[in-house]
Structure formats: structure tokens, C-alpha cells
């Protein structure tokens, strides 16, 4: 079941035309990262550490280099040493020293799978053989995998020079705590001590992977003139350019990045692992070099979402008004700092009104892969704890869980605890819509339970560029610099079609390389249809203004006497009977009215609006095995405006499914040696279609005034509520609150049977 | 024009000795950041790559935009999405 009742003032926006990338994908013609071939290309391979923590005393590549067919070998010592250097990525910065060390370990291997050396050879099999000939002398060091162990004072130290940023009392003692942040408003402890209902507990969840189907891969070519080219799939070619140039310490202008089709990213491709290594190999070999991860490499060496341990306490008065919240969060950063520490408080303070707040958040490094973004980074984890407690408080007070949320939800005009003013947010509308769903009235069977949970994600804007140009026949090329991970080509084409009054089929959306279009930050943060779409619409408006000016010149009237409607210029001057000129006619006559008709627009909007969602979930719990199956699932979400509802529903469904996997199945399992025991999809169990019912979607549209068509952003928030929605459903079915993920059969069985 | 500046962690301790609030004379974010750079050298570089600025509750990306008198500027760590 899908529910979408569009506000029908638009011709194309809100319709469901055929996607522009569909044919290439279903016929196998789409070129993904591992598919690209460059003339003369050779094959790279990476040697990875078998130890989770080891000092690298030496690396000897001489035997590998002597193997016939081997053209180059590199180690971390071939990369420039860049202490303290960083590069701006537009939506944050990257620490180049850490990025460099993550691409190729310099002095220490910090996790099992950490890259320590690489070779390039004339065939992939020779490259793999060459890896066996590299000798690495390791001094194995004590390791720490468990997050809470990593945060202890006596834990093995990963980075001797790491000091806690943000600490109230700075210390010069080495630590694994990379960052801390505290936010206090009012007296939360006093408020909670006097509350009529309080829910509390320690919630814990391990890292989980994004599970994109396409592994990381690239081809790099470093030419003799110093110019480098990289072909890769990523969520941002400009990000790849910036960090590749930064890690290699070369000018940005010496690197050109061409984006290939992307086979899933979900945040995990907002960073790099291979590109500088492939560039180095290419420079040494004098040939283009391909590097591609295997599935095992992806699990062992690319960034998952951080795990979290949080102690939380939330309370309400007898009337159902929240009175305060305390939370102490510890996020897992993996091998390098950056566990999304600030995002936990952001999420926590942007859902409900809390008169008193006492929050502390930290992140700790550990001997696991460095974490990366994953759809609404850090939000699903803390929301699992918040929404579990909110449900428990509602139950204690005898209130309906949606009514309790409605009573406390942030509304337009409110200010969050972090000082952010709520604009035209749609949290209340989502709760109202959820409350009206038939799903809530459906009967439940034995051992079945129903849960609901809400979620928030900030959605961002940021630097965005787009060009729009008319071909001689009036067809339209729309070029952006943002890879299409969720339907952005279709949405850009729809918005251009709507604005210009041309058929959707006459608009060709293209993703340009870093040399063909102005700068854009990554496709991420649910920003692309909002921010890049706004650039597309502004570029359309620029060429419309140009065409009006040209028509005025043709007709010898004032520009004010020319109007643009329905894809044509119209003369409105009194007594003038000039026939309208269509966009096709304007394009055909472009060279006699001033030349080509085209515009490029670069903008940097920050007036995006957050997304809210409410999920309803029915589960059945098998009391004999503890297995939880999803029986019915409904996603309600405010999207601002759905430009292409198929894609919007797909994002809502996909996010919910990834959240379901996070809740029920997924976890990194490390053995006592600090090595990952489940680096493949057979043992790292993501949900498949046969595990799931149809995910029903309800699109709520409360338009964003800052976007020409009201877009807010869609892709991230649907992964936020499922963890708690399922937890609340399991509690409804069993009476047991499970605070640790995944809710795997053994854990659920133990909860049902009192820990046995 | 007096502007109230609220630096959140880690900016408060890293640059301003743990102060939770500063008052500077400024008419836009460039002037705010110049004033803060004068107090804490190095802040400008941090601001360019690692900070977001909220002016009266709304994120402002244009440092040239005029800030009304008596505004509140909150310094937040830059936030990335997935």
C-alpha cells in the first residue's frame, strides 16, 4: 500500500515518469566502479594486516617487484607525511594524516584488514601472487575491540598523540577518547527525581555496515605531465578530488575525477580508501591502475556505522509532559577519531520539548575499521534508546504512545535544546497521519506485538552547482556534479521539465566530472534534491530570463512586455500580435539572437529543513526460538514535496529495511584475536526480500518554503525509527524490553526465558 | 552592534578558555569571526573548515549577510550526512 495525495498544481512534479538510468542498469550496460577499463590498464592488489594492532617494523617488497609482470609496489612510506593537515569537504573537513594512514598504514596497523602495502601487475592473478612475496615485520601489540574497554584508562592506546578534544579539563595523558561534548540546560537530575514516570537503561549496539552491493573500486592514471585522472564510484567526485590531491600533497587542479555509476553508498562512499594508492602505483608503473576491494575487504577495511553505548533517563509529569532527559553516550569511532559525536545530541534535542537537559557524548577509538557515515549518521543508535524510553513512559502513564508523542513533539516556532529554531517541520503531521492509519486498528495474533517509533534527521544543504543548456532542437541537458544514489537524475529532469515547460523525455540529466561542472559537495545528508535541485531551477530561471530578453529584442518591445508560460515566450505589449515563440523555436534561432542558450549556477543554501518519520511495525515472536519476524510495516514521512514519488517511496522502504536489519540481524562479530569472523553476506545477515512483508509508505507533504517545489529531503530519516519500532513491538509481544542490538533469536529467547 | 556568541564544544575550550559566551561588535559573520580570531588566533582556519554558524536559530552559510543588532550566534561543529 502506498499513499500519496499530491498537491496537484504541477505538471510534472509529483508524477512517476520512467527513470533515466533504468535501461542501462537492467541491460547491464551501466559502468560501475569495478567495470571501468582504461587503455593500457594494469591491476593492483592490496596487502592487509592480519593483526588488529601491530607496529610495522619494516616492509620488504623486493621479491614482489622481482616477480615477472609486477610493475610497481608502494607502502605507507611512499605517501607524504601530513601531520596536522586537513582539507575542507564543504560539509566538514577531512584529517589528511588520518586519511592517508587509513589508505596505507604508516607506522602501525590499527585493525585487521588495514592496508599495509600494494602492488600493480599486468594481471590480477600476478598481483595477488606478488602480495605473498611481500615481507612485513610486525611487532604485535595488545588490541582493544570492545567499545567500553577502549574508553578505559588502562586500555591499549592506539594513537599516542591523541588527546581528548572538548574536555572541560584538558589532560596531556594519552587516551582513546577522541572527543567529548556536554550540553546542560536546567537541572535535569532534580526534574527526573520528581517525575511521575521515568524510563531509563543502558542501551548498546555494535557497528553495522551499509552493505552496498558494489565494492569500492577505482582506476587511476597519473600521466607523465603530472596530471592525474581517477575514475571511480563515490558519493562525490569533488570529495574524491580534494582528498586524493590532499593525501598526495599535489594541487587539486592536477586531479580530474570522473564519477562512474554507483552501486549503493548510503554514506559509506563519502570517503576514500583506494584512490591515492592507485595514483601512486600508476605513477610508479607509468600505466593506469585499477584497484578494487573484495567483499571481505569491504567488511574488514571500510567504514561501518559506529556502535553506541548509552545510559539514558527520561521522565514526564503526571499530565504527560516531558520534564527532562539525561544521556551519557559513547560512540565507537573505529581506528581513527570521528565517531559522529555531535550528531547524537543533535538528534536528541530535535524531537521533543525537554525543559531540562543533561547530555554528555564521547567517541573512542578502537582496533576496528574507521567508521563512516551511514544514512542519518549516529541517529538510529540514539533514537533506539530515546524512542524505547518514550514508549515506556507512555505505558507507565497509561497514555497512547502517539498521543504522548504529540503532546511533547517539537513544532514550528519551537527552539531545540541546541539553539536551532524549528521552521516548517512536519513532525506533528507525521504523528497525526500515523494515528489515522488502518494499520493501527488491524488485529494481532498470539505472540504478536505492535510498536511505533519516530525519527528525526537534520537534512543539510551546501555548495551545489548545475548547468542547463538548450540543444539546437530545444532539448535540454542538465549537468550536475552529484552522483545519483537515490534518483537525483530523475528529480533534476523533472524539475527542469516543470520549470522550462518541456516534456520530461526531452531533458537529459548528466553527472559531470570535476572538470566539466562547478563544485558541489557530496551526494549525502539528504541534500541533493533540495540544494542541487535548487541550483537546477535557478539555472532554468536564468535561461528563461535570457530567452525573454532575446524575444523582447526580436519583437522590439520592452522586456516587461514578455512573459514566460507553458514553455514559450508570449508578447503582452498592447496592440502587438506577435505569435508566441516556443523553447524549441528559441533554441533553433539561438545563433541569430545572441548565441547558445545556457547557464551555470552555483549556490550554497543552508535553509534546508529536517525530516521526521513515524514507523508502525507488527512483529511475531516465536517463543520456542526467539525468532522475530516482521508481519506488517508502515512508514509515514514528511518529505516536503515528493518530486518523483516512486523514488521517494523506494527511499522510505530501503531505509526501513536497512533499519530492520540493524534491529534484528546485523553485527560485526570479532574473535578473541581481534579478527572479524563474519566478513561476508552469508554470515553478516542483511534482510532479503523473503524476510520482509511489503513496506507500506505514506508520504506526508508539508512543503519547505526555501525550495521552489517544497523539497525537504528523503533518504536518511527512514533508517532512524525501525530499531525502536521493532523494540517496542517486541516488548508489546513479549513484555520484555530488549536494550541490546541485534535482537537476534538467542537474545530474544534469553529475554523471554529470564536470561536462560 | 553587540553580538552574543555562544561557542559549543570543542570550540569553547579549544579557543576561548571554556567561556560559554562572548560578546563582540560585528555586523556580519565575517566581522564576528575576525573578532574571534583576534581573541583566539587560529580560530579563522577552524571556522572555515569545521564550524557552522547559527544566527538567531538558523544556520547561515553566507558570512557577508547582515546580522541584526543583539543577535545570538551559536558556533556548532560542521555536520555531515550520509
Hey, what's the cell of A308? 553506541
CA distance B2 to chain A (A): 19
What pLDDT was estimated at residue A54?
A: 98
Q: Could you say which of A342, A373, A423 has the minimum Cβ distance to residue B77?
A: A342
User: How far is CA A368 from each of CA A108, A301, A554, rounded to the nearest angstrom?
Assistant: 13, 8, 67
The residue written with cell numbers 577519531 in the block is A337
What pLDDT was estimated at residue A492?
A: 98
What pLDDT was estimated at residue A496?
A: 98
> Which one of A84, A85, A164, A165 would you mutate to disrupt binding with B, by most B Cβ within 10 Å of its Cβ?
A165
CA distance A586 to chain B (A): 36
What pLDDT was estimated at residue A264?
A: 96
Q: Are B53 and B78 in contact (CB under 8 A)?
A: no
Contact B81 A377 (CB under 8 A): yes
CA distance A620 to chain B (A): 32
**Complex-level ipTM:** 0.82
Q: Could you say which of B50, B52, B79 has the minimum Cβ distance to residue A343?
A: B79
The chain B residue lying nearest A413, using CA atoms, is B57
CA distance A420 to chain B (A): 4
Question: Measured between alpha carbons, how far is A361 from A355 in angstroms, rounded to an integer?
Answer: 19
Q: For residue B49, list chain A residues with Cβ-Cβ distance below 8 A.
A: 86-88, 92-93
Question: Measured between alpha carbons, how far is A159 from A172 in angstroms, rounded to an integer?
Answer: 13
> Which one of B16, B57, B82 would you mutate to disrupt binding with A, by most A Cβ within 10 Å of its Cβ?
B82
Contact B59 A267 (CB under 8 A): no
Hey, what's the cell of A503? 516534456
Q: For residue B59, list chain A residues with Cβ-Cβ distance below 8 A.
A: 420, 606-607
Hey, what's the cell of A568? 514559450
φ, ψ of residue A661 to 5 degrees: the values are -60, -45
What pLDDT was estimated at residue B82?
A: 83
Count helices and strands in chain B by DSSP H and E runs: 3, 5
With both helix axes pointing from N to C terminus, report the angle between A96-103 and A237-248 in degrees, rounded to the nearest 10: 90
Per the rule left: phi > 0, alpha: psi between -120 and 50, beta: everything else, A575 is left
What pLDDT was estimated at residue A8?
A: 63
Sign of CA dihedral A728, A730, A734, A736: negative
Contact B82 A270 (CB under 8 A): yes
The residues with which A479 forms a beta bridge, in sequence order, are A467, A510
The residue written with cell numbers 565517531 in the block is A339
The chain B residue lying nearest A87, using CA atoms, is B49
User: How far is CA B40 from each of CA A269, B6, B78, rounded to the nearest angstrom?
Assistant: 35, 14, 19
What pLDDT was estimated at residue A366?
A: 98
Pairing of strands A562-565, A568-571: antiparallel
Kindly report the number of other CB atoms within 10 A of residue A57's CB atom: 10
With both helix axes pointing from N to C terminus, report the angle between A379-397 and A401-408 in degrees, rounded to the nearest 10: 110
What pLDDT was estimated at residue B80?
A: 78
Question: Measured between alpha carbons, how far is A169 from A38 in angstroms, rounded to an integer?
Answer: 54
Interface of B with A (CB under 8 A): 6, 8-10, 13-14, 18, 48-50, 52, 54, 56-62, 72, 74, 76-82
Q: Could you say which of A183, A421, A458 has the minimum Cβ distance to residue B58?
A: A421
Contact A166 B60 (CB under 8 A): no
Contacts of A561 (CB under 8 A, 6+ apart): A552, A555, A571, A572, A573, A576
Contact B62 A604 (CB under 8 A): yes
DSSP state of A261: B
Contact B59 A181 (CB under 8 A): no
Strands (E), chain B: 2-7, 22-25, 51-55, 58-59, 72-77
Q: Are A732 and A628 in contact (CB under 8 A)?
A: no
Hey, what's the cell of A289? 591502475
Q: Are A365 and A333 in contact (CB under 8 A)?
A: yes
Hey, what's the cell of A319? 499530565
What pLDDT was estimated at residue A244?
A: 97
Contact B50 A92 (CB under 8 A): yes
Contact A607 B59 (CB under 8 A): yes
Contacts of A159 (CB under 8 A, 6+ apart): A174, A176, A336, A365
What pLDDT was estimated at residue A5?
A: 67
What pLDDT was estimated at residue A6?
A: 62
Choose among A534, A532, A531: nearest CA to A606: A531
Interior/surface letters A439-466, b for 16+ CB within 10 angstroms, e for the rest: beeeebeeebbbbbbbbbbbbbbbbbbb
Question: Measured between alpha carbons, how far is A222 from A228 in angstroms, rounded to an integer?
Answer: 4
Contact B79 A607 (CB under 8 A): no
Q: For residue A162, list chain B residues with Cβ-Cβ distance below 8 A.
A: none
Contact B56 A421 (CB under 8 A): yes
The residue written with cell numbers 523473503 in the block is A690
Contacts of A165 (CB under 8 A, 6+ apart): A178, A179, A180, A337, B10, B14
Contact A342 B76 (CB under 8 A): yes
Kindly report the number of other CB atoms within 10 A of residue A572's CB atom: 12
CA distance B51 to chain A (A): 8
What pLDDT was estimated at residue A756?
A: 60
The chain B residue lying nearest A607, using CA atoms, is B59
Q: Which residues of chain A have pLDDT under 70?
A: 5-8, 90-91, 755-756
What topology does CATH give the domain B2-77? Ubiquitin-like (UB roll) (3.10.20)
The residue written with cell numbers 559549543 in the block is B8
Sign of CA dihedral A119, A125, A128, A129: negative
Sign of CA dihedral A427, A90, A298, A100: negative
pLDDT tens per residue across span A508-554 = 999 999 999 999 999 999 999 999 999 999 999 999 999 999 999 99
Contact A419 B57 (CB under 8 A): yes
Question: Measured between alpha carbons, how far is A109 from A119 in angstroms, rounded to an integer?
Answer: 18
Q: Could you say which of B6, B80, B82 has the minimum Cβ distance to residue A266?
A: B82
CA distance B45 to chain A (A): 10
Q: For residue A89, list chain B residues with Cβ-Cβ distance below 8 A.
A: 80
Interior/surface letters A407-420, b for 16+ CB within 10 angstroms, e for the rest: bbbbeeebebbbbb
Residue ranges and CATH numbers for the domains of chain A are 464-603 (3.30.365.10)
Question: Measured between alpha carbons, how far is A399 from A378 in angstroms, rounded to an integer?
Answer: 29
Q: Are A382 and A310 in contact (CB under 8 A)?
A: yes
> Could you give the 3-state DSSP secondary structure of residue A192?
helix
Amino acid at each position: 500500500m502506498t499513499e500519496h495525495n499530491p498537491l496537484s498544481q504541477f505538471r510534472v512534479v509529483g508524477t512517476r515518469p520512467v527513470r533515466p538510468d533504468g535501461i542501462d542498469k537492467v541491460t547491464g550496460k551501466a559502468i560501475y566502479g569495478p567495470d571501468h577499463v582504461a587503455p593500457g590498464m594494469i591491476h593492483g592488489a592490496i596487502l592487509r594486516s592480519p593483526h588488529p594492532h601491530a607496529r610495522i617494523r619494516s616492509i620488504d617488497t623486493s621479491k614482489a617487484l622481482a616477480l615477472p609482470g609486477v610493475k610497481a609496489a608502494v607502502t605507507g612510506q611512499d605517501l607524504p607525511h601530513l601531520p596536522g593537515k586537513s582539507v575542507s569537504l564543504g560539509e566538514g573537513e577531512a584529517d589528511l594524516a588520518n586519511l592517508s594512514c587509513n589508505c596505507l598504514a604508516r607506522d602501525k596497523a590499527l585493525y585487521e584488514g588495514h592496508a599495509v602495502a600494494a602492488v600493480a601487475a599486468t594481471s590480477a592473478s600476478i598481483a595477488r601472487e606478488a602480495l605473498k612475496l611481500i615481507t612485513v615485520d610486525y611487532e604485535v601489540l595488545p588490541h582493544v575491540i570492545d567499545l567500553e574497554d577502549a574508553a578505559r584508562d588502562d586500555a591499549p592506546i592506539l594513537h599516542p598523540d591523541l588527546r581528548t578534544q572538548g574536555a572541560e579539563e584538558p589532560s596531556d595523558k594519552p587516551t582513546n577518547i577522541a572527543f567529548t561534548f556536554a550540553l546542560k540546560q536546567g537541572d535535569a537530575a532534580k526534574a527526573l527525581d520528581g517525575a511521575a514516570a521515568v524510563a531509563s537503561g543502558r542501551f548498546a549496539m555494535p557497528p553495522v555496515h551499509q552493505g552496498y552491493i558494489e565494492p569500492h573500486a577505482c582506476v587511476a592514471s597519473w600521466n607523465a605531465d603530472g596530471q592525474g585522472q581517477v575514475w571511480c564510484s563515490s558519493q562525490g567526485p569533488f570529495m574524491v578530488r580534494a582528498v586524493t590531491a590532499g593525501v598526495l600533497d599535489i594541487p587539486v587542479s592536477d586531479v580530474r575525477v570522473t564519477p562512474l555509476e554507483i552501486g549503493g553508498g548510503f554514506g559509506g562512499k563519502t570517503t576514500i580508501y583506494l584512490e591515492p594508492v592507485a595514483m601512486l602505483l600508476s605513477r610508479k608503473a607509468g600505466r593506469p591502475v585499477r584497484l578494487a576491494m573484495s567483499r571481505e575487504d569491504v567488511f574488514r577495511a571500510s567504514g561501518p556505522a559506529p556502535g553506541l553505548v548509552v545510559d539514558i533517563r527520561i521522565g514526564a509529569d503526571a499530565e504527560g509532559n516531558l520534564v527532562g532527559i539525561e544521556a551519557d553516550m559513547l560512540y565507537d569511532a573505529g581506528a581513527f577519531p570521528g565517531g559522529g559525536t555531535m550528531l547524537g545530541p543533535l538528534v536528541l534535542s530535535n524531537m521533543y520539548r525537554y525543559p531540562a537537559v543533561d547530555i554528555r557524548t564521547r567517541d573512542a577509538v578502537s582496533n576496528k575499521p574507521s567508521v563512516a557515515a551511514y544514512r542519518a549518521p549516529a541517529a538510529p543508535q540514539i533514537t533506539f534508546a530515546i524512542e524505547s524510553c518514550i514508549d515506556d513512559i507512555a505505558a507507565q502513564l497509561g497514555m497512547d504512545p502517539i498521543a504522548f508523542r504529540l503532546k511533547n513533539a517539537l513544532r514550528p516556532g519551537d527552539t531545540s535544546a541546541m539553539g536551532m529554531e524549528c521552521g516548517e517541520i512536519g513532525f506533528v503531521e507525521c504523528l497525526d497521519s500515523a494515528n489515522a492509519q488502518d494499520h493501527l486498528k488491524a488485529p494481532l495474533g498470539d505472540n504478536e506485538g505492535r510498536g511505533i517509533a519516530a525519527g528525526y534527521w537534520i537534512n543539510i544543504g551546501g555548495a551545489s552547482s548545475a548547468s542547463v543548456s538548450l540543444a539546437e532542437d530545444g532539448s535540454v541537458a542538465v549537468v550536475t556534479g552529484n552522483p545519483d544514489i537515490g534518483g537525483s537524475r530523475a528529480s533534476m529532469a523533472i524539475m527542469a521539465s516543470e520549470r522550462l515547460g518541456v516534456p520530461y523525455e526531452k531533458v537529459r540529466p548528466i553527472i559531470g566530472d570535476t572538470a566539466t561542472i562547478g563544485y558541489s559537495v557530496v551526494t549525502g545528508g539528504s541534500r541533493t534534491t533540495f540544494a542541487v535541485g535548487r541550483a537546477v531551477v535557478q539555472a532554468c530561471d536564468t535561461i528563461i530570463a535570457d530567452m525573454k530578453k532575446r524575444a523582447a529584442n526580436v519583437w522590439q518591445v520592452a522586456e516587461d512586455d514578455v512573459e514566460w508560460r507553458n514553455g514559450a515566450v508570449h508578447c503582452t505589449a498592447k496592440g502587438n500580435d506577435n505569435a508566441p515563440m516556443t523553447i524549441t523555436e528559441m533554441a533553433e534561432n539561438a545563433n541569430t539572437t545572441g548565441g547558445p542558450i545556457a547557464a551555470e549556477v552555483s549556490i550554497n543554501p543552508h535553509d534546508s529543513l529536517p525530516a521526521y518519520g513515524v514507523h508502525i511495525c507488527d512483529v511475531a515472536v516465536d517463543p520456542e526460538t526467539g525468532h522475530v519476524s516482521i508481519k506488517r510495516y508502515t512508514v509515514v514521512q514528511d518529505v516536503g514535496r515528493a518530486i518523483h514519488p516512486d523514488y521517494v517511496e523506494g527511499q522510505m522502504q530501503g531505509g526501513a529495511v536497512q533499519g530492520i536489519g540493524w534491529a534484528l540481524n546485523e553485527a560485526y562479530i570479532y574473535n578473541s584475536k581481534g579478527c572479524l569472523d563474519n566478513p561476508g553476506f552469508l554470515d553478516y545477515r542483511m534482510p532479503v526480500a523473503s524476510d520482509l512483508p511489503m513496506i507500506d509508505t505514506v508520504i506526508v507533504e508539508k512543503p519547505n518554503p526555501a525550495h521552489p517545489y517544497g523539497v525537504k529531503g528523503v533518504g536518511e530519516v527512514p533508517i532512524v525509527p525501525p530499531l525502536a519500532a521493532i523494540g517496542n513491538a517486541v516488548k508489546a509481544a513479549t513484555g520484555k524490553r530488549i536494550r541490546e542490538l541485534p535482537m537476534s533469536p538467542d537474545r530474544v529467547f534469553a529475554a523471554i526465558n529470564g536470561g536462560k | 552592534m553587540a553580538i552574543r556568541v555562544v561557542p559549543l564544544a570543542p570550540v569553547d575550550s579549544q579557543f576561548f578558555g571554556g567561556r560559554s559566551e562572548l560578546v563582540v561588535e560585528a555586523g556580519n559573520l565575517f566581522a564576528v569571526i575576525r573578532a574571534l580570531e583576534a581573541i583566539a588566533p587560529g580560530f579563522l582556519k577552524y571556522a572555515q573548515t569545521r564550524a557552522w554558524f547559527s544566527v538567531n536559530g538558523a544556520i547561515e552559510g553566507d558570512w557577508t549577510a547582515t546580522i541584526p543588532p543583539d543577535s545570538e550566534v551559536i558556533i556548532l561543529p560542521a555536520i555531515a550526512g550520509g
